[in-house]
Amino acid sequence: MTQHEIYMNYAFKEAEKAFEKNEIPIGCIIVFQNTIIAKAHNLVESLKDPTAHAEILAITSAAEYLQSKQLVGCSMYVTLEPCAMCAGAIVLSKTENLYFGAYDVKSGACGSNMNITVNKSLNHNCKVYGGILDDKCREILKSFFEVRRD
């Protein structure tokens, strides 16, 4: 198992927590100097907050940990390709690397539907790597929506 798969498994554990809370199962961790400094999962329904995506919550936690609005030198691992809101926050926080699990062809903003994280007109670009444990990350989302439809 690669280091990226190990970190994605930590993000996946966060997605499982979201699933247990009847939240869309997306999990996220942020790593700085080989240490996990932030963990989060979606809390949109629990907090009644449309911005309470795993990535946003993890960025807030990492910024607090580093006492900085910039996450220079940090890598984010998230189980689903970030949406436009989260991709914008990743750029604004100056996160260095983004690793995601499942691609999101409908709403993904890091290569699938649009590509905010590498837009040359923005003041920062993030290196993006997708498809890490893709099947596993896609399966929990599929399971969640199957249960929800029943």
**Catalytic residue IDs:** 55
| CA–CA separation, 75 and 51 (whole Å) | 21
Sheet holding 97-102, edge to edge: 35-41, 27-32, 74-80, 97-102, 127-129
CA 2 and chain centroid, separation: 19
What is the chain's Cα-based Rg? 14
